[in-house]
């Protein structure tokens, strides 16, 4: 078991908007990894936060009629609240308006400048405020009503102003070499190929300062300019581990980050600009950037302007937190776009959760309560069926790790649910209720094997459904310090004679109100 450090980050969220389920999704994936790695014994640093500068935020504050700093204070709180609502286990929450960050952003600017990679010029070209991105003429499209939009559909405006530039064009070959030497740097493969062909197509120097508005971090020694919001924002990942103090113990321990989780819309910033900035500052690039797909509602990416956002608090209230956490990572293959709907949610809740795992635990533990005096029964010798189930439960961890390490959360969950199905088949074939009279000692063994399997399942689902897993482990009387992955396997098996509390259902069925009303 390795105690090596693990650093995982979410994108920092623009404070122009209320958090919706798309934002919750990105952070959830990171939370599951952070919890998984902690259970494996790694020292984890899990960072999230808010991106508070730039024209987009300034515009939103103005539209709300609130002073910009107050506006960011307020909206940033919504993202902190989201972290509580979703039960995220982040170790830090960074805001780009904090002094520690302003200091770090100016320090990286100075480093890149001292290394000769920044020059003053003037920018004229297209800018999309919604994406906070510059686009080349060739990337633009014209809408039916004659507006010019960037590749994401965001409207662009013509910008002409003095600007500092980063010599991105010089980083084409170093980036291509870096991608070649680090084949796991970008996942999934489709995104990796996209990024490589974008870079192979040639890179233009990047405008990294603005003068036409003021909501940003001042450029060192030239306060007419503020830093381009993406250079500012990306730097948050090193601010949070103590940069510019490169001897800071967190920096030494956690940088380079193990994983920057991002949505596919912002992969270019993380996989092209960010490693180039870092290399230009003689700092190590992160180990991996993974770009997941979008959660779609009615076929569109959710956004405030489209009026189709789903709010996490509404889903939690309706379906419960852990079912929502499970559903989001199970229903949509991570990396692809996917739809969320009431029907598929209910089918996961009633199928995978209530019927499959919930019922397995409830009926097994009820039989223990009823037939074994509420104590873990004494097992007799194990048959090959017993051994097969127990070893499948233990072996699951290696497969889950493999899937989670490549961010295939849906596949990791499938691995767990294969054990759930094995266990349900085992109950049916062993029929412990029939053994009660005919062979009570064999019944004890079967119920023991089931309780042990449930212990494994509960330990394994902790990263995704921490509260429900805790509830199941409480019902097995597993002490808090015996719930990590080292406790899987026969060495830490349940002890016969341990008293168990009265079992209670962990995963209730979802019943549609309409159905209840008409019933």
Interface residue list for ligand MSP (CB under 6 A): 11-14, 22-23, 25-26, 51, 233-234, 236, 262-263, 265-266, 294-295, 301-302
Q: Which residue lies nearer to ligand MSP by CB, 87 or 303? A: 303
Kindly report the length of the chain. Answer: 519
Q: What is the 3-state secondary structure (H, E, C) of 208-236?
A: CEECCCCCCCEECCEEEEEECHHHHHHCH
Distance in Å, CB of 269 to ligand MSP, minimum: 7
Distance in Å, CB of 433 to ligand MSP, minimum: 46
User: Which residue carries 């494994």 as its tokens?
Assistant: 456
CB 18 within 8 A of CB 57: no
Can you tell me the distance from the alpha carbon of 352 to that of 41, in angstroms, rounded to the nearest whole number? 29
Distance in Å, CB of 19 to ligand MSP, minimum: 8
* 322 Cβ contact list (under 8 Å, min separation 6): 464, 465, 466, 467, 468
Q: In the structure encoding, which two tokens stand for residue 396, read together?
A: 């699951």
Can you tell me the distance from the alpha carbon of 471 to that of 258, in angstroms, rounded to the nearest whole number? 31
Distance in Å, CB of 14 to ligand MSP, minimum: 4
User: Which residue carries 């995704």 as its tokens?
Assistant: 464
* 352 Cβ contact list (under 8 Å, min separation 6): 326, 330, 417, 420
Distance in Å, CB of 300 to ligand MSP, minimum: 9
* Helices then strands, each counted (H, E), the chain: 21, 19
Q: Which residue lies nearer to ligand MSP by CB, 167 or 265? A: 265
Q: Which residue lies nearer to ligand MSP by CB, 132 or 403? A: 132
Can you tell me the distance from the alpha carbon of 132 to that of 448, in angstroms, rounded to the nearest whole number? 58
For every residue of 143-192, DSSP letters joined together read: -TTS-EE-TTS-B-EEEEEEEEEE-GGGGHHHHHHHHHH-TTSEESHHHH
In this structure, are strands 289-292 and 186-187 parallel, antiparallel, or unpaired?
parallel
CB 101 within 8 A of CB 93: no
Q: Is the dihedral of CA 60, 66, 71, 77 positive or negative?
A: negative
Q: Which residue lies nearer to ligand MSP by CB, 11 or 216? A: 11
Q: Which residue of the chain is nearest ligand MSP when measured via CB?
A: 263
Distance of CA 373 to the CA centre of its chain: 43
In this structure, are strands 141-142 and 133-135 parallel, antiparallel, or unpaired?
unpaired
Q: How far apart are the first and last CA of the chain?
A: 54
Distance in Å, CB of 24 to ligand MSP, minimum: 9
Q: Which residue lies nearer to ligand MSP by CB, 13 or 510? A: 13
Distance in Å, CB of 238 to ligand MSP, minimum: 11
Can you tell me the distance from the alpha carbon of 443 to that of 235, in angstroms, rounded to the nearest whole number? 60
* 33 Cβ contact list (under 8 Å, min separation 6): 8, 259, 261, 404, 407, 463
Q: Which residue lies nearer to ligand MSP by CB, 22 or 286? A: 22
- Helix (H) or strand (E) holding 47, with range, is strand 43-51
Q: Which residue lies nearer to ligand MSP by CB, 21 or 415? A: 21
Distance in Å, CB of 267 to ligand MSP, minimum: 9
Q: Which residue lies nearer to ligand MSP by CB, 95 or 455? A: 95
What pairs with residue 162 in β-bridges? 122
Q: Which residue lies nearer to ligand MSP by CB, 265 or 439? A: 265
Distance in Å, CB of 294 to ligand MSP, minimum: 4
Q: Is the dihedral of CA 336, 296, 329, 132 positive or negative?
A: positive
Distance in Å, CB of 23 to ligand MSP, minimum: 5
φ, ψ (nearest 5 deg) of residue 479: -65, 155
* 278 Cβ contact list (under 8 Å, min separation 6): 284, 285, 286
Q: Which residue lies nearer to ligand MSP by CB, 33 or 476? A: 33
Can you tell me the distance from the alpha carbon of 376 to that of 498, in angstroms, rounded to the nearest whole number? 5
Q: Which residue lies nearer to ligand MSP by CB, 26 or 113? A: 26
Q: Which residue lies nearer to ligand MSP by CB, 234 or 476? A: 234
Q: Which residue lies nearer to ligand MSP by CB, 82 or 460? A: 82
Distance in Å, CB of 79 to ligand MSP, minimum: 9
Distance in Å, CB of 316 to ligand MSP, minimum: 17
Distance in Å, CB of 129 to ligand MSP, minimum: 12
């Amino acid at each position: 078991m390795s105690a090596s450090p693990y650093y995982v980050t979410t994108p920092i969220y623009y404070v122009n908007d209320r958090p919706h389920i798309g934002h919750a999704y990105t952070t959830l994936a990171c939370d599951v990894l952070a919890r998984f790695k902690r259970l494996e014994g790694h020292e984890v640093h899990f960072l999230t936060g808010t991106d508070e500068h730039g024209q987009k935020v300034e515009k939103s504050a103005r539209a709300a009629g609130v002073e910009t700093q107050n506006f960011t204070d307020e909206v940033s709180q919504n993202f902190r609240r989201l972290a509580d609502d979703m039960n995220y286990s982040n170790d830090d929450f960074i805001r780009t308006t904090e002094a520690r960050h302003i200091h770090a952003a100016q320090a990286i600017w100075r480093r890149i400048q001292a290394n000769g990679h920044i020059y003053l010029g003037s920018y004229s070209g297209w800018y999309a405020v919604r994406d906070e991105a510059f686009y080349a003429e060739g990337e633009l499209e014209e809408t039916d009503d004659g507006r010019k939009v960037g590749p994401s559909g965001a409207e662009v405006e013509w910008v002409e102003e003095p600007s500092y530039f980063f010599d991105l064009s010089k980083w084409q070959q170093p980036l291509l070499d870096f991608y070649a030497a680090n084949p796991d740097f970008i996942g999934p493969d489709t995104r990796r190929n996209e990024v490589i062909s974008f870079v192979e197509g040639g890179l233009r120097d990047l405008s990294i300062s603005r003068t036409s508005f003021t909501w940003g971090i001042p450029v060192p020694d030239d306060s007419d300019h503020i830093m381009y919001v993406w250079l500012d924002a990306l730097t948050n990942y090193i601010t949070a581990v103590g940069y510019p103090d490169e001897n800071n113990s967190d920096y030494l321990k956690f940088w380079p980050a193990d994983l920057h989780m991002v949505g596919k819309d912002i992969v270019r910033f993380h996989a092209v600009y960010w490693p180039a900035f870092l290399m230009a500052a003689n700092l190590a690039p992160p180990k991996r950037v993974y770009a997941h797909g979008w959660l779609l509602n009615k076929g569109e990416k959710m956004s405030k302007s489209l009026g189709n956002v789903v709010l996490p608090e509404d889903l939690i209230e309706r379906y419960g937190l852990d079912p929502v956490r499970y559903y989001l990572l199970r229903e949509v293959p991570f990396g692809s776009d996917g739809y969320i709907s009431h029907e598929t949610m209910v089918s996961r809740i009633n199928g995978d959760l209530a019927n499959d795992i919930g019922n397995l635990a409830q009926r097994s533990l009820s039989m223990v309560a009823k037939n074994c005096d509420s104590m873990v029964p004494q097992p007799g010798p194990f048959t090959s069926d017993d051994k097969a189930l127990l070893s499948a439960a233990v072996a699951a961890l290696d497969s889950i790790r493999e899937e989670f390490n490549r961010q295939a959360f849906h596949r990791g969950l499938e691995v767990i649910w294969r054990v759930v199905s094995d266990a349900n088949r085992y109950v049916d074939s062993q029929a412990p209720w029939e053994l009660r009279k005919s062979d009570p000692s064999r019944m004890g063994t079967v119920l023991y094997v089931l309780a042990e399997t449930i212990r494994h399942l509960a330990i394994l689902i902790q990263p995704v459904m921490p509260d429900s897993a805790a509830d199941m482990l409480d019902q097995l009387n597993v002490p808090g310090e015996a719930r990590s992955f080292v406790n899987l396997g026969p060495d830490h098996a349940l002890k016969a004679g341990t008293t168990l509390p009265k079992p209670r259902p962990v995963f209730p069925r979802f019943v549609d109100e309409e159905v209840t009303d008409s019933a």
